[in-house]
Amino acid sequence: MEPIITIRQLSKKYGDKAVLNNINLDVYPGQIIGYIGPNGAGKSTTVKILTGIIQEYTGEVMVAGKVLKDNVLEIKKMIGYIPELAEIYDLLTPREYLTFVGKLYHLSDEVIEDRSRKMLDSFGLLGNIDQRMDSFSKGMKQKVLITSGLLHNPSIIILDEPLSGLDANAVIMVKELLQVMKQEGKTIFYCSHMMDVVEKVSDRIVLIDKGSIIANATISELKQDTNESLEQIFAKLTSDGSQSQKADEFASVFSQKNNE
């Protein structure tokens, strides 16, 4: 099978600071890739390059057999992007925001209306479709954002911390949704800090640290010689393993004060 996303020797610098160093990665259709790494590792930069938001980089990125740099618009049509932190024009209502986004993807009014109603309904937000989002909780906004990212029925879905702010039921729903979309043959690129979720939903884990991929394997391959959880493996690979020592130091601040 041909990979749907191919990344070769991808590097990106901000000034003198290298954010991505020589990234090589193949993603196959219908896969869920868990893309994990500590803060500042280069996750968001990779995502922004894949979605065509950042266009200055070295190396090659191919999506569905096409070179990203030469076919940005065509590839953008294939991709649904759901950013973290609910960056959204929240003075609008979900209906208005989705109409706006739908128009940017050249959808007709009828399709926008039909899809947004159905999708919001499954999120339990249909009752809020005509309310301004500035009164919404973070999770509610995130649901609208997920809807807007999937509205044009993309074949590749890129999620950056999609579960932040969602309540437990919505988290279960999104996890189920990922599985359904996977079965439909969609490719999912999933960035997150939440190791337990990544561990459960991903077919393959890609671990990035300081701009380089330091692990790229299935979860069972990663766990081959050990009984540790993904969280522990992550900690081992991305830090010097001194977390418990640091926690002790933190706690000792109080005991010192009490001793005085």
Partner 1 sequence: MEQLKAILKVRLTLDDRKPLSFGRQQRVKKDRKYGSLLNIFLSFIMGILYTLPLAIPDRIFSLAFYFTLFLFMLTFMLITDFSNVLFDARDKYTLLPRPVNDRTLVLSRLLYVFIYLLRIVFPMSIAGWVILGIMDGWKSVVLFPLPLVLMVFMALFFVNGIYLLLLRLAKPGRFKEIINYFQIIFSILFFACAYLLPRLFDARRLVNFNIHDFASMRWLPSYWLAACWSWLGFPAGLPGTVWLSSLAVLFPLICLFITVRWLSPQFADKIGEMDSIEPSEQKIAVKTTSRSGKKFYKKLADIFNRSDAAKAGFIITWLQTSRSRSFKMRVYPTFAYVPVYFFYLLTTKREPLNNVWHGLKENPSYLLLLYLCSFVLMQALTYLTMSDQYKAAWIYYASPLVTPGKVMSGGFKAIWVKYFIPFFAVLGIFIVSVWGISAIIDVVLALINVTLFSACIMRIGFRHLPFSIIEQTKQGGVRIIKVFISMIVVGGLGFGHYMAIHMFWLKLVFLLLSGGLLWLVWDSYANTSWESMIKSELE
Instruction: Catalog residues that contact partner 1 under the rule CB under 8 A.
Output: 51-53, 73-74, 76-77, 79, 81, 83, 87-92, 96, 99-101, 103-106, 109, 113, 117, 124-130, 132, 135-137, 140, 148
Q: Select 109 or 196, whichever has its Cβ closest to partner 1.
A: 109
Smallest distance from partner 1 to CB 60, Å: 21
Smallest distance from partner 1 to CB 206, Å: 21
Q: Select 170 or 198, whichever has its Cβ closest to partner 1.
A: 170
Q: Which amino acid is at 20?
A: L
Smallest distance from partner 1 to CB 129, Å: 6
Q: Select 140 or 230, whichever has its Cβ closest to partner 1.
A: 140
Q: Select 73 or 180, whichever has its Cβ closest to partner 1.
A: 73
Smallest distance from partner 1 to CB 105, Å: 6
Smallest distance from partner 1 to CB 72, Å: 8
Q: Select 81 or 190, whichever has its Cβ closest to partner 1.
A: 81
